Amino acid sequence: MTVPFATSARSSLGLEWELMLADGETGDLAPRAPEVTDALEEVTALERYTITGELLTNTVEVTSGIGDTVAAAVDDIADAIAAVRTVTTPLGAELLCAGSHPFAQWYDQQVTDKTRYHKLIERTQWWGRNMMIWGIHVHVGVEDVNKVFPIINALAVYLPHLQALSASSPFWAGERTGYASNRSLVFQQLPTAGLPWPLENWSQFESYLDDMVGTGVMEDSTEVRWDIRPAPRWGTIEVRACDGMSTLPELAAVASLVQVLVEHFSRELDEGRTLPTIQPWFVRENKWRAARYGLEARIIVDSHGRQVPVREHLAELLERHVDIAADLKCTREFQGVGTILSQGASYARQLTVADAADGDLREVVMHLIREFRAGPTLREHLAALGH
């Protein structure tokens, strides 16, 4: 099978953000996505952004146009959210985002009436019906197909960093899981999801697709649901490992980190250097550690098994790549990674709110709704709990 890799501008950026719809009074998930997408289909047809449905009718996905900078892509996302609110506000529906809804049950949710979703549920059954998960997808343009898999393999070293920064699913179906990102471990149960296979080049990817399509596992490359995957249609590498970000500034921060890393690796390849990788079993262990401990994880950072706190490694990374961030005009957004390190990721804020509210997970949902509107300042939200 020959799979063409589209032409794209180097280090260009596109964002996808899956958002929950919830009842503004109760915090319960609301199956209003079809109303939202139908109402906005014509009026947004010529916009740079898109607003679409997802697997469940409680979810809308907002997608940016192709941006030269993180700021341009984030502006598209902000415009899309403003459009969505023109429909949801009159309905009494609120927007929020996290890797999981704190107390919703899978059996109360409705699957969007599309053939591809019904086929997915029919095949995956209980695991598919449990996909009450929300994430972000960050696309970064790669100008040379021969760079794609070397960069994907190098990015795998930084999956725990991205997963820890975005971790936002400490609760599942009303239970406190003990994990910072329960979503990441649930999602990998789908047959074509999880960590990318350590392929070396594009021809190996084409052989992989031959095998998977030939045995009926998938129909085409869009059904590859790896944590990092090539997106041949767009000419990008797509990072899908992250939980849903709870605020727009945090989305921008993580997007800038992905963009900076891809550009760094691309420059290394231009200089003829081999990109560093670690053993697949280290990659798998790092994923589990980040899911379990979030920003408190101690991760394996090289092939010799050296271990350091992920916070420490992230701080070093921010200092090391400040010049690339400046070149990409995302310095402000890149500094937002440091803000997450100092203020805590969403999972930690949710746990703090739950403890302050004696375990009332409806308060956690209301916190997420407020936070989505206002930004990630924990102090303000804890103060609001008293009102």
pLDDT in tens, 216-263: 999 999 999 999 999 999 999 999 999 999 999 999 999 999 999 999
**Tell me, what CATH number does 292's domain have?**
3.30.590.20
Q: Identify whether 324 is part of a domain.
A: yes
**CA separation (Å) from 267 to 143, 254, 271, 276, 321?**
12, 20, 6, 13, 12
Q: Is the pLDDT of residue 384 over 70?
A: no
pTM of the model: 0.95
Q: How confident is the model at residue 375 (pLDDT cuts 50, 70, 90)?
A: low
Helices (H), 41-69: none
In a domain, 250, yes or no: yes
- Is the pLDDT assigned to residue 280 strictly greater than 90? yes
Asked if residue 20 belongs to a domain, the reply is: yes
Burial of 318 (0-12, 13-18, 19+ CB in 10 A): middle
Range of the domain at 159: 13-385
Q: Is residue 231 part of a domain?
A: yes
Within-domain flag for 352: yes
| Amino acid in the structure at residue 367 | H
Contact, 259 vs 330, CB < 8 A?
A: yes
Does 2 reside within a domain? no
Classify strands 93-96 and 136-141 as parallel, antiparallel or unpaired.
unpaired
Q: Is residue 8 part of a domain?
A: no
pLDDT given for residue 133 in this prediction = 97
How many domains does the structure of the chain reveal?
A: 1
Residue 73 belongs to a domain: yes
